[in-house]
Structure formats: C-alpha cells, structure tokens
Amino acid sequence: MKILGERIFARDAEGVLVSRIGTLFLRTPGLVTLRGVHAMQRQFWIDELNRERSAEGRDSLTLAEEDAEFHDSVDLVFTDDHVLIRPDPEHLDMAFKADEILQTMVSKRVIRFLNTNSAKVRRAITERGENWRMSRQPISQQDIANLIEHSKVPICENPIYYYNRSTGTRYVTASTFLDVQKFDDMRFRRQIKEFVDGLSKRNRMGNPEVDLFPTSTPIEIKKAWKKLPVTELTDEELRARCEKIDLDWRMSLPPELREESIANYDWRNAMCQTITRQSNETSAEEQELVSGIASEFYRQIEWLPGAMIDRGEVIFDPIYGESERTRDPKLLEICDPRVKAIIFNFTQVFGDLDYINVGRIAHSLSKDPSDALRRHIVYIIQYHSRGAAQPKVVIIRLQKWGIAERLDQGKDMLQAILESEEYADYIMDRRRMCLQLGMNLPRRLRYSHFTEKYRGNNQYNGVTVRTSFFSRPYIPGFASDKIPDQKYRNPVFALKFAALIGKAAALDMIVGRRRTETKELLFDRNYEVIVMDADGMPSELMVTDHAGTFVNYEHRMEEYVFQYAGVMQRRKSLVPDYPAFVDAYVKAFRCEIASIQSEYRAQRRAYDNLFMDRPFDVNGSGAYRWSCILKRLDEADPDQLAGLLRAAIGE
C-alpha cells in the first residue's frame, strides 16, 4: 500500500507523534498521514495520483473519479496508543473495510471506532460482539488531564489546537496567542493566517475546521477574527489587531475559565466536554452508548473482546488467537479467559442469542476509595435473543469467597468446596431475609458457575475449579450518591427523593448493613438506585445488592441511628427548603420502622420460623443473626429513633 507521509505511530526525535490524523483510501489503496486537515490530505492524494498518471502519459482524474476517491475514504485519528476510525453512519461498510486493512498494519487491539453517538454505528459494532472497540470517554480526572494534554495538534504550522476526534474540529483558546506573539514576524503571520482561514472552513461532516474555546465566546469576537485581513496588514499592524481581539476575547471569558490550565478544575472539565462532544447529540437515548445503560455507568465499564454468534455458532474474536500466539502482556490483560467462560455459560442457558458483549468494572463505582480493595470482581453482560425487541443487560458478581479463595488459605480441596457452598447458601439466605423484611431487591437472581484453572501457592495449583457467580438484571437509574446536584433544586424532586431515601434508610438500619472488614456504614454509597418516571421524578428506590447486610446484628438501633444523619447533611446546600427536606426524610424513616415492626408482630411465627432448618450458632450463623435482628426490631421505639435521627441531623 502506498503511504504519503510517515507510517502510523511514527515519532520525531523527541518521541512525539509525527501525525495525529490520517486518511485511508479504499478505491485506490493508500494512506496519507501528511500534516494538515483531512480535506488537505484528500487533495494531497489526488495530486499524487495525477502525478503518477502524468508520469505514465495518462490524463488526470476526471471530477467524477476524484469524487469517487473522496467518497471511498475513511478518516483516521492517531493517539499515542490507538488508531481511531471515524465511521460514516451511512457507509459503515467502508469503516469495517478500513478496519480490515489497518489490521494488516497494526494490532487489532489498538484500533477503535469513533462516532458512537450514532445509533447506527453503535448497533453495528455491538452486533459484532465488539463493544470493546468503541472509543472510551475519560473516566478519572487523571484520564481527563491526559486526554487534554495529548489533544494538542497542529494543522501545518504549530500545535496550538485542541482536537475533537469525533467532530474533527480544532479549538483555540485565548491564552494561546500569548505564546503565538513570541513567534518571529514570518512565523507569526503564517500561524495567524492558518487560524483565520480555518475559522471559515468546514470539514466534510459539516463541522468547523477551527473554532474558539469556549463555544460560548461572543460571536463578535469570532467575526473580528474572520474579518482580519492578514495579508493586507504590516507586521506591526497585524500584531496590534491580534492583540486587541485577543484582549476582548480574554475579557469575555467567565471568571472560572480565565486560568487556562489543566490544574484549573473548571477549565479542565469544560475543555474535556468540548473535545469529547460528538455530532448531533440530540437526545438522552442517542447518548446511551449501549442501549439500557446510563452514560455515567457506561464510562466505568472496560469492554473486553468477546464473540460473534452466527446461527448458533460461537466465533471468538481472532484477537484471542493473537494473544495466545504472541503472549503479549497488553493483549493478555484484555483477553480475559473468564470472558470466554461467561460466554459459554450464557450460550448454554440462552441458546438463541444473536450477540453477546462482556465488560468488567475495573474498579468500584462507589465514591469511597477503600472499595477498590474489595476482592470480588464485577462483570456486565449485554446480550440479545432472537426475536427480542431490545437487548438485555445483566450484572455478574463473582462469589467473594469461592473455592480458589479457600485454597489460598491453605485448605484442602474438599474443605474449600464445602465452605464455598456454605457461603453461597448464606448469601442466598441473607437475600431471603431482606426480601422478608420488604427490601426492594432485584426480583431475579441467578446462581451459576464456570470452571477455570486455580493459580495459587496451594498444592492444587493448575487444577480446574469452579468459580461461582450471581447474575441480576441491570437497574437503570441514578445511584443515590450520583444524582446531579441541579436536580435537588426542584422542590418536588427533593421531597420525593427524601421520602424514598428515608424509607430505605430505616430498612438499612434494621438489617444492620455494614462493610464486613471495617464495619463502616454502606448506605447511600452506590447500592441504592433511584428509578425515575417519565417526568424525571423519583418513582422507586431499588437496592441493587444486599452485600453487607446482617453484619451489625448485636447492637441496639438507638446506638447508631445518628449515622444516618449524613444523608441529609451532605445535601443541605443543594435543596431549596432544607427543613421540609429533613421532615420528609425523618417521617418516611419513622413510618417504615413502624410498618415493618407491625408486620412482624402480626406474623411473628412465620418470621421466627423462616430459617428453623438452618444451623443456629451463637458465633454468628445466619439463623442466629436473623433472630437477633427480629428481637431488636420488636424492642425498638419508632418515635424515639425518629427523634434521635432528627436531633443528629440538626438545623
């Protein structure tokens, strides 16, 4: 294949990528990586083809032939680690053909797809079982900082632009000209001309080649730049005019954006939003990168290579073969053998799948950093059954204490198996206890397992063991601790939320939910999901997982009710009527305790005998903990608990 420019990932003497963009031509195979914008690269290609034809004594390309070359081409964007394909939603076949060609040049693992805001693009990638190849949005603040730092690109002159990979627009900031003014006269003039020319051009997607940051910059400033007669002014006049426009620009900036630095939180997030914005972001549905998964949750998922399903045949991604062949550490990291096991499990249970995608939650979604130390691993599965209207999404959580973990403790295989099964029973018993008391848990929970090799220091190293897991439906909504602050400004929203979270707090306190290792409160830390109605108002609170329940079963509720005051205190500055907010919370809290207590007293024998077939051990068996929970519930005074909670919240 003919290449104009350097090869992909070529770097200069300082280790910087020579080119940040490329254009791949399919009609006459070729790749252009020369500096410029994509439109310039297409012209470079036409000029090269005409040069070759002239050397061979042939006529230049006709306009129709040039249009055909332009049409059968694909935009590429290069980062330090990836080649990003920008698909045309109306011509996805070309994007996938470009993908095949690129795989002969670089590893498939570094090739990703942009334009995932388009439902057509998402659907096509998803149905190939390749969610892992959608270009990811930044997650952490460090990710955001890295993205901004590596988005600085040139056109032909200097790297003064922040590049949006999806739209192709390059953004310039006001303070950029403080650096440009240091250039010598000739270099300064070339840079200003390139910038001004770019403001008046649009790329083939209809987006500006160059624009101003922030996008809220007054239109008068953009017009002043566009009208700047660069070639007619003397060097002194040009510098003076640029300085005047730039001063007006900087004066127009909001105070929080005047410090143009990654260290400035507001500027950093605003720039990230600008250079990750995608074309035609028109609705919440269009912005769901995977159907049924909220964008906040999606950003936490690391999608992994999986499999296509063709008429019932499971065809794993060829990258698994590359991983086995090369033993490349980076490939081995994403070619998770558990993914293959999970896919086999699901295709056995659901025999009519069209496709399946598997991702893993690499770290806890809780805002509490200590959650990163938790040992169990969470996967997310998106699958579609033939004839179904929509794909389904389920969460898989590996059993925290399984056979492998018991073997790690030095136990023999039989003991490890028995204790693992006992622990699974204990998990399901606790779920039954929570449901009995009225906790709103997902109604379906599947317990299953797959096999994998045990890798540890035990004598059984290399032996195949079972790994158990629990799967449940994904609950769409907002985790209570991740609801956008602005929603609380609506008094109706705030009061409905307070009532739901107050009711859930009462039940959380009754079942003594705590972190097993530290005994810290888990409430309002990610597990409580607020489901919204059609009007965007809270309609239901679901507890997605009963982890940590019945850890605190020995203390009276009066001793720790004050710990639930923080739910209100953390939101005090967000709500318009804090006393009413607190009142709704405490009333719902008190009513729920009284209601559960009344239900227990009316059906005492049914509750007391629920686990009479289970071992009763005062050292902490499930049945014993259940009896302790019921005893303290019966002895509780709802009015006293509500009074203690209100006093702890304060004014």
Whether 35 and 76 share a structural domain: yes
Q: How remote is the C-alpha of 207 from its chain's centroid?
A: 26
**How would DSSP label each residue in 124-153?**
HHHHTT-GGGBPPPP-SHHHHHHHHHTTEE
The boundaries of the domain holding residue 456 are 293-473
> Within a domain: residue 461?
yes
Whether 488 and 445 share a structural domain: no
**pLDDT tens digits along 264-273:** 878 988 898 8
Residue with tokens 């018991």, as numbered in its chain: 406
Whether 412 and 501 share a structural domain: no
Whether 154 and 76 share a structural domain: no
pLDDT at position 80 is: 87
Pick from 237-241, 372-376, 574-578, 613-617: least confident:
372-376
Partners of residue 395 on adjacent β-strands: 380, 472
> HEC states along 353-369?
EEEEEEEEECCCCCCCH
Residues 241, 644: Cα–Cα separation, whole Å = 68
> Within a domain: residue 587?
yes
Main-chain dihedrals φ then ψ at residue 138, nearest 5 degrees:
-65, 150
Whether 20 and 70 share a structural domain: yes
pLDDT of 587 above 90: yes
CA nearest neighbour of 527 among 567, 479, 482: 479
- The H or E element containing residue 308 is strand 301-310
Helix (H, G, I), strand (E, B) or coil at 553: coil
**pLDDT tens digits along 602-621:** 999 999 999 999 989 999 99
pLDDT at position 146 is: 86
Whether 504 and 608 share a structural domain: yes
| Tokens (6 digits) for 352 | 């009519």
Among 44, 62, 80, where does a domain finish?
Answer: 80
Among 473, 496, 529, where does a domain finish?
Answer: 473
Residues 55, 135: Cα–Cα separation, whole Å = 42
Identify the top-confidence range among 47-56, 280-289, 309-318.
47-56
pLDDT at position 139 is: 59
pLDDT at position 238 is: 95
Residue with tokens 């050292």, as numbered in its chain: 619
Whether 560 and 603 share a structural domain: yes
Pick from 326-330, 368-372, 388-392, 644-648: least confident:
368-372
Whether 165 and 249 share a structural domain: yes
pLDDT of 565 above 60: yes
- Please say whether the beta carbons of 534 and 528 come within 8 A: no
pLDDT at position 291 is: 53
> HEC states along 392-452?
EEEEEEECCCCHHHHHHCCCCHHHHHHHHHHHHHHHHHHHHHHHHHCCCCCCCCEEEEEEE
pLDDT at position 285 is: 36
Between 1 and 75, the higher pLDDT residue = 75
pLDDT at position 293 is: 62
What average pLDDT does the segment 441-447 reach? Answer: 92
Whether 349 and 251 share a structural domain: no
pLDDT at position 137 is: 63
Domain at 579, CATH number: 1.10.1070
Cα angle 286-213-112, degrees, rounded to a multiple of 5: 45
The amino acid occupying position 421 is E
| Tokens (6 digits) for 274 | 């600008």
> Within a domain: residue 544?
yes
CA nearest neighbour of 50 among 24, 71, 75, 69: 69
Main-chain dihedrals φ then ψ at residue 215, nearest 5 degrees:
-70, -10
Residue with tokens 């220091």, as numbered in its chain: 457
Other beta carbons less than 10 A from residue 313's beta carbon: 9
pLDDT at position 333 is: 84
pLDDT of 551 above 90: yes
DSSP 7: P
| Tokens (6 digits) for 515 | 């972190």
> Within a domain: residue 134?
no
Pick from 150-154, 170-174, 204-208: least confident:
204-208
**How would DSSP label each residue in 559-621?**
GTGGGGGHHHHTTTTT-S-HHHHHHHHHHHHHHHHHHHHHHHHHTHHHHHTTTTTS---TTT-
> Within a domain: residue 117?
no
pLDDT at position 373 is: 34
The amino acid occupying position 515 is R
Question: pLDDT confidence of 112, banded at 50, 70, 90?
Answer: very high
Question: Within 13 Å of residue 336, how many CA atoms lie on the same side as its CB?
Answer: 20
pLDDT at position 266 is: 82
Length of the chain: 651
**pLDDT tens digits along 87-102:** 999 999 999 999 999 9
Whether 462 and 485 share a structural domain: no
What average pLDDT does the segment 278-284 reach? Answer: 44
Question: Within 13 Å of residue 492, how many CA atoms lie on the same side as its CB?
Answer: 6
pLDDT of 71 above 60: yes
Task: Evaluate the CA torsion angle 414, 419, 420, 424 in order and state its sign.
Answer: positive
Helix (H, G, I), strand (E, B) or coil at 467: strand
Cα angle 222-228-230, degrees, rounded to a multiple of 5: 140
pLDDT at position 364 is: 46
Helix (H, G, I), strand (E, B) or coil at 112: strand
**pLDDT tens digits along 369-424:** 333 333 448 899 999 988 888 889 999 999 989 999 999 999 999 999 999 999 99
DSSP 108: G
pLDDT at position 367 is: 42
> Within a domain: residue 158?
yes
- For the chain, helix, strand, coil in percent to 5 are 45, 15, 40
Residues 194, 412: Cα–Cα separation, whole Å = 72
Tell whether pTM > 0.75: no
Number of domains in the chain: 4
Among 473, 498, 523, where does a domain finish?
Answer: 473
Residues 449, 577: Cα–Cα separation, whole Å = 50
Whether 169 and 299 share a structural domain: no
**pLDDT tens digits along 155-168:** 999 999 999 988 89
- Please say whether the beta carbons of 100 and 24 come within 8 A: no
Residues 34, 614: Cα–Cα separation, whole Å = 73
pLDDT of 649 above 50: yes
| Dihedral in degrees, nearest 10, Cα atoms 380, 385, 391, 396 | -20
| Tokens (6 digits) for 413 | 């295989």
Main-chain dihedrals φ then ψ at residue 385, nearest 5 degrees:
-95, 145
The amino acid occupying position 303 is W
| Tokens (6 digits) for 157 | 């002159």
Residues 510, 239: Cα–Cα separation, whole Å = 72
**Average pLDDT for the chain:** 89
| Tokens (6 digits) for 348 | 């056995």
Give the whole-number percent of the chain exceeding pLDDT 70.
Answer: 93
Pick from 110-124, 299-313, 405-419, 453-467: least confident:
299-313
**pLDDT tens digits along 331-380:** 888 898 899 999 999 988 887 888 999 998 855 444 443 333 334 488 99
Partners of residue 289 on adjacent β-strands: none
pLDDT at position 368 is: 43
Whether 455 and 353 share a structural domain: yes
| Tokens (6 digits) for 182 | 């240091």
CA nearest neighbour of 547 among 419, 372, 417, 374: 374
- Please say whether the beta carbons of 320 and 308 come within 8 A: no
> Within a domain: residue 631?
yes
The amino acid occupying position 315 is I
pLDDT of 430 above 90: yes
> Within a domain: residue 527?
yes
pLDDT at position 645 is: 97
What average pLDDT does the segment 417-443 reach? Answer: 95
- Please say whether the beta carbons of 523 and 515 come within 8 A: no
